[in-house]
Amino acid sequence: MARLFGTDGVRGLANADLSPELALSLAVAAAHTLADLADPDRTQPPLVVVGRDPRASGEMLEAAVVAGLASAGANVVRVGVLPTPGVAFLTAEVRADFGVMISASHNPMPDNGIKFFAAGGHKLTDEQEDAIEAALGAPWTRPTGAAVGRVHDLLDGADHYTSHLVDATEHSLSGLKVVVDCAQGAASDVAPEAFRQAGADVVAINAEPDGLNINEECGATHLASLQAAVVEHGADLGIAVDGDADRCLAVDANGSEVDGDEIMAILALAMRDAGTLVDDTLVATVMSNLGLRIAMREAGITLVEAKVGDRYVLEELRSGGFNLGGEQSGHVVFTDHATTGDGVLTGLRLMARMAQSGTSLAGLAAVVTKLPQVLINVRVADKAVAKAPEILAAVAAAEAQLAGAGRVLLRPSGTEPLVRVMVEAATEEAAQKIAEGIAADVRAASPLAG
């Protein structure tokens, strides 16, 4: 049987792959496993924080999750519509045994997902997820009477989270004008308010969620409307989050995109200059552009590589004791202030660096000279072909050809029968040619039937 948990919780088409019955069962299984991990000798009922993004199916799935938790004897604190990092923050803030976020992040509206946070607001390990899966459908004794869990609403949860974001912004944003694209998602109220409280002049767009329009041609996955709005309003920059606001991309005053690699470089230099970057080290993934690696090397900052996925960045951060890491896609983690990627916090700290330095976003981002990057997804019969001797030889030959002025990365997909071929080179033409050559070798070594 395929593993139920993916790279970021359980996700699928709401009311089909992800049904209320499955949501209820997951909640019961989590109550029986995560509560015991948080406190094996407990004498009080478990406490669980539950939040969601504004997509319509979240109402249905929230009801199922809350019912499952209460039926297992857990007390539930509902925080309503709130960004994923806000739910993680409140899980730690109220000292809950674990938290539940109902969201499919940047996915289209028909999808939804369920992700769990362990005590302290930390993402689950593979072992914790496996324990939940193993407990699905296992026999259990239902509590009755006073032992049934109770459900309460935390009405000021968003205010607590917003205050936390502003407190973590180390310089007033006064004098800066920003367009904030809320992706019709979970940050539609919190993000504009946080930027205003931090001192910025704010123009909010795509901040009227109706349950059906989340991520619809907006947010971090569709920057065109933000780019146009920044130019139209004469703003200093634009900030785009995704549906659950755990990541952030930016747009400079000219409407040009500033991606996660450039954002990480800007923030790493800011923290190094302030003396707060632990061991002068940044954690990024293997997909980050070679330009980031070069910029960090020239700045005397060590770059530690993690596997793709913010959970693996978090593992490297925690194991090494580092305090800044992220992904090219805009997941950025500040472990001094958050336990997971936080798009609003990232935007606030990016603007704080602009205000503190008196430098435009384009000027700050210029520290990274990105190499052209080509990615080709090759559908294969067997993903193990990425380790085949003839493919490894082809990669070695390509790297010799690049002579240190580029790189080749082959990565089997974690969820699909694909091998991803990524090449960086001095020119787009060279990267495309090398990538297509290796992709052809991969297809030939593992052809699809028919």
Give Rg (Cα) of the chain. 22
The distance from CA 13 to its chain's CA centroid, rounded to whole angstroms, is 20
Beta bridge partners, 303, equal 282
> Of the candidates 341, 325, 336, which has an alpha carbon nearest to the alpha carbon of residue 267?
325
CB of 423 within 8 A of CB of 406?
A: yes
**How far is residue 319's CA from residue 346's CA, in Å, rounded to a whole number?**
22
**How far is residue 180's CA from residue 354's CA, in Å, rounded to a whole number?**
16
CA dihedral 180, 269, 258, 428 (to 10 degrees): -170
What residues act catalytically?
105
CB of 51 within 8 A of CB of 100?
A: yes
CB of 111 within 8 A of CB of 12?
A: yes
| Strand ordering across the sheet containing 257-258 | 201-205, 177-181, 237-241, 248-252, 257-258
**How far is residue 84's CA from residue 190's CA, in Å, rounded to a whole number?**
12
